[in-house]
Structure 1
Amino acid sequence: MKKLSAILLLCFATLFSNAQQIDTTTRTKVGDLSPNFSFNISKDKVVSLSDYRGKIVVLDFFATWCPPCRLELPRVQKEIWEKYKADPKFALFAFDREENWDKLLPFKQKNHFSFPMVPDMGRVIFSLYASQSIPRLIVIDEKGKIIYQSIGYTEKDFSELLALLADKLK
């Protein structure tokens, strides 16, 4: 009986310790107001996230060398950008958290991506949301509130994102 009690105690301790693990890489949570920031939408034009209030905004943080990012980005192009780019209530920005325009633009052209891709040298914007882990997708509602976040790339998460966008942009 003592062995059984010890085993059960160990099982419960393991269960509760796993339940208490917290993602320490994420600095924002669903329900938070998104941090505001400015960024170069092109080499010569600066915009602010607050300029897009009133829209559903998708932020995609990636790196050109990241294998899961390379799986996700074509789906962003085909299933999100091509579907919603003409919707006046929608905006999407993909932030390359590693490289500058000189590397980013050839990557964009080579892969036939037409959605806005901008550099985030030094992870300045990325660090407002997280300390590590990409790809990372964030959706911000019309009032500036974060309504979705994902880390990494899975079919399940991407399907949830598509369902959320379909609901918000009907």
Structure 2
Amino acid sequence: MLIFLICSSFLSIAQEETTFVKLADPVPEFEFEKSPGKTMNISELKGKTVLITFFATWCGPCKKELPFIQSDIYNKLRKNPNFEILIFGREHNWDEVNRFKAANKFSMPFYPDPDRKVYSKFAGQYIPRNFLISPEGKILFSSIGFNEKDFKILKETIDNQVKRN
């Protein structure tokens, strides 16, 4: 029990020190490559609920979380015009992201973040990370790592936002 409390305290401190955006903060401005050679600005998604996920192909917890994002979030909301999902491969290029996507049979959109330009707007370290953005462009939820409790809260928050729109 003591070890659990120490680990929980460490994770809370780590999240606080390595997360650069807080709940209710405006989403940081950034551009990303929507497809090779074509960029998009996050401001273009204002008015939608947006889930931003950061992962790496070598990350064990990321590999556990992404199938749940596919089945429990993306598959249910992919046709909803008020929802967008952005999954960024931290330190990965298009080839690496596309190979990972194909190997795992994901249909969700994946985007490269080879130099951490997007990631560094949100955090300093640790993945997977999720940030949920409101239609008004505010941070509604953030998480580090993958656990069922946080994932359930993420899903409920998304459902509430999408119903509201």
Q: What is the TM-score when the length of structure 2 is the normalising length?
A: 0.89
Residue in 1 aligned with 2:35? 42
Alignment of 1:1-170 (within 5 A): 21=13, 23-170=16-163
**SS of match in other structure, 1:65:** coil
Supply the distance in 1 between the matched residues of 2:37 and 2:134 (Cα, whole angstroms). Answer: 27
- Structure 2 unaligned spans of 5+: 1-8
Give the partner amino acid of 2:162. Answer: L
Residue matched to 1:6: none
Normalised to the residue count of structure 1, the TM-score between the two structures is: 0.86
Q: How many residues align?
A: 154
**Is the Cα–Cα contact under 8 Å of residues 60 and 138 in structure 1 kept in the other structure?**
yes
SS at match of 1:24: helix
Partner of 2:5 in structure 1?
none
Where does the alignment leave 5 or more consecutive residues of structure 1 unmatched? 1-17
Deviation at 1:44, TM superposition (A): 2.6
> What SS class does the counterpart of residue 152 from structure 2 fall into?
helix
Q: How far apart are the structure 1 equivalents of 2:158 and 2:103?
A: 27
Is the 8 Å Cα contact of residues 41 and 116 (structure 1) preserved in structure 2?
A: no
Question: Displacement, 1:166?
Answer: 1.2
Q: Secondary structure at the match of 2:79?
A: coil
User: Which is higher, the Rg of structure 1 or of structure 2?
Assistant: 1
- Please state how far the C-alpha of 1:116 moved relative to its aligned partner: 1.2
Cα shift readout 1:27-51 (whole Å, capped 9, x = no counterpart): 0100100101111111132111000
- Measure the CA separation in 2 of the matches of 1:109 and 1:45: 21
